[in-house]
Amino acid sequence: MAVTGFFTDSTLCIGCKACEVACKEWNEVPDDGFRWSGLSYDNTLALGHATWRHVKFVEHEASIGAGGNAPDLMTWQFSSDVCKHCENAGCLEACPTGSIVRTEFGSVYVQPDICNGCGYCVVTCPFGVIDRRDDDGRAFKCTFCYDRQKAGLEPACAKACPTGSILFGNLDELERAADRRIAQLHAAGMRDATIYNPKNSSVGGTHAFFLVRGDPKNYNLPPDPVVPTTLLRPAWNAAAIGAAAMVVGSLLAFALGGRK
């Protein structure tokens, strides 16, 4: 079974939010409260239990014209955010019930009928994606349209995207397509375009990666995401050393006591 992924190209996103609507309709995700943020046309603001796809509106400062005296122009950049389906998933490692599993497509899937609402996955997600619902406390996030993939269909968000901003397919092929796209944009003068896929972090890379302009942090993409369980390793090592020292000390005590 091929490992699949998302490649989201923010330079092609027009902010239409068709992906958000398609996600909600197909997965029967409840409404997010219909609260107007007052900050921009981005009414959903962030991923959560009721928003599995979120089109972020980012103000971007770009120079127009030629020469060093070219004026700056404020423009909108859009990017459709989603669960990253991390290679090393903090939520999966922290789940005590086995509710969160790795599927045959490489995605990270939450089984709602097994989730007990403990919330450990929420605090261990490096991207702040997974969230608990207020009514029953269970955790929810993007399922990577697992049911559609099982039927040989692409996820609803990618199917609905009118500009090709959201590409779905074999992960290795998508990474090659991203390399070609970034080379094309750089050749055209868009030097601030970068690929976000933190393979050198403790996350180990993601199955949903992005092409963005400027600082990835503006798109809620941390430069060095950390899987919290990696922070426990020094403590485990210290505990192991301490336990070994206690064993050695006990053996020496018995040996010396026996000689006496």
Q: What is the mean pLDDT of the chain?
A: 88
Check residue 35 and give its pLDDT.
Answer: 72
Check residue 62 and give its pLDDT.
Answer: 64
Check residue 145 and give its pLDDT.
Answer: 98
Beta-bridge partner residues of 169: 5
CA dist 74 to 29, 129, 147, Å? Answer: 34, 28, 41
The mean pLDDT value for 155-165 works out to 98
The separation between the first and the last C-alpha atoms of the chain, rounded to the nearest angstrom, is 67
Beta-bridge partner residues of 170: 4
The mean pLDDT value for 65-70 works out to 56
Q: Domain locations in the chain?
A: 4-226, 227-260
The CATH number that domain 4-226 falls under is 3.30.70.20
- DSSP class of residue 163 equals S
Residue 77, classed as helix, strand or coil, is: strand
Residue 171 has pLDDT above 70, yes or no: yes
- Other Cβ atoms within 10 Å of 116 Cβ, number: 13
